[in-house]
Structure 1
Amino acid sequence: MATLHADGVHVSNHPCLRAKLSQLRSSSTNAADTKRLVHDISTIIACEALGDLLATVETGTDESPLGYEYKTEGISPSHISLIPILRSGLSMLDAVQSILPSPVSVHHLGMYRDKSTLSAVEYYNNLPPQRTDDGAGRMDVAIIVDPIIATGSTVCAAIETLRDWGAPRIVCLAVLATEGGLKRAAEVWPEGVELWVGGVDAETDDRGMIKPGLGDIGDRLFLTMGK
């Protein structure tokens, strides 16, 4: 279960998540286990966030294998889009998709953090054209997935991009964040954004890395350390 950390910010206190996060922090955790732990943690966070975000609606009737009729249920809102931030956001994608009852659209944002300024630079954006009168491109909720919120620059830039595009509501899912990064992200668009995270560390170091953190999660996932 997640607790409200601040306005629009929810931090999980699920014991299984906390234990898995402790395992993920270890420098001895290999790439395969890193991928598995990120998936597991993302599943728990997504269950908590979607349990709060979605409602159940009746969609009709169907027949069970024994021939009994039953009422079918779906979710509302149904027009959900997942927005993984390249590249490490891809590690959370399967977990969120697996708990949704139907496939949803996926639109990628490519961003990297400039090493000198620590600001986010967007290099790829495949959001659909703006919503039209016939409903094309409809996105009732945009769910950003990115394992780390450190300084907050990347998630803030993603929120601004989606807000400017016209997303009416944004939910951000992350494995780990800092106090300052969460505060920055929550202040970008308070009435339209919620953040759900697995854990919070106090601060970043002079390189913009979370202390004690998880290291560079993208490098750990894709075995590109030392590039």
Structure 2
Amino acid sequence: MLDAVQSLLPSPVSVHHLGMYRDKSTLSAVEYYNSLPPQRTDDGAGRMDVAIIVDPIIATGSTVCAAIETLRDWGAPRIVCLAVLATEGGLRRAAEVWPEGVELWVGGVDPGTDDGGMIKPGLGDIGDRLFLTVGK
């Protein structure tokens, strides 16, 4: 999704990664990687106007909420979250984290999740689909 988003932007932008996944037993977000640089504000260097979260799906909302909180604490003045598919509850939860600073752009919305936090009817495990690990 990153390449597709970059191709739509009017000029090149810095890309930083927040690596997060949802723990399958607790459904809580786990951060395993963060390449955000130190925020520089004294001379305006390193200033940015918007942070874009690119996440294929928003199911329970726990992962995107954790990403929003990390970026807000880092100093992002505005956050746009892009997702292919989301649930109504996941979107509600994400919108409540920081209502004045977050926009949610989503391709489609399904009603909810199963007991394991998977979107129903959904797309299956998006990580398995992206990395061709279905059934492994």
- Offset at residue 138 of structure 1 (A): 1.2
Q: Which has the larger radius of gyration?
A: 1
Provide the rounded CA distance (Å) in 2 between the counterparts of 1:101 and 1:201: 31
TM-score normalised to the size of structure 1?
A: 0.59
Q: Aligned residue for 1:95?
A: 4
* Post-superposition CA distance 1:156-176 (Å, at most 9, x none): 000000000010000100000
- How far residue 222 of structure 1 moved from its aligned partner, in angstroms, is 1.3
Select the structure with the greater relative contact order (CA < 8 A; seq sep ≥ 6). Answer: 1
- 1:101 is displaced (CA, Å) by 2.1
Q: Distance in 2 between matches of 1:115 and 1:153?
A: 12
Kindly state the Cα deviation for residue 131 of structure 1 after the two structures are TM-superposed: 2.1
Q: TM-score, normalised by structure 2?
A: 0.96
Identical-pair percentage: 95
Structure 2: any 5+ residue segments left out of the alignment?
none
User: After superposition, where does 1:1-227 map in structure 2 within 5 Å?
Assistant: 92-227=1-136
What is the aligned residue count? 136
Residue by residue over 1:115-155, the C-alpha shift from the partner in whole angstroms, topping out at 9 and shown as x without a partner, is 11100011110111112322222121001000100000000
Following TM superposition, by how much is the alpha carbon of 1:225 offset from its aligned partner in structure 2, in angstroms? 1.5
Structure 1: 5+ residue runs without aligned partners?
1-91
* Rounded Cα–Cα distance in structure 1 between residues aligned with 2:89 and 2:41: 37
Which consecutive aligned stretches of 4+ in structure 1 deviate over 4 angstroms post-superposition?
A: none
Instruction: Name whichever of 127-136 and 176-185 sits farther off.
Output: 127-136
User: What CA RMSD, in Å, does the superposition of the two structures yield over aligned residues?
Assistant: 0.9
Q: Distance in 2 between matches of 1:99 and 1:164?
A: 27
Q: SS of the counterpart of 2:43?
A: coil
1:166-221, Cα deviation, whole Å (9 max, x unpaired): 10000100000000000000000001001010000001001110000011112112
Q: CA deviation digits over 1:36-67, x for unaligned, max 9?
A: xxxxxxxxxxxxxxxxxxxxxxxxxxxxxxxx
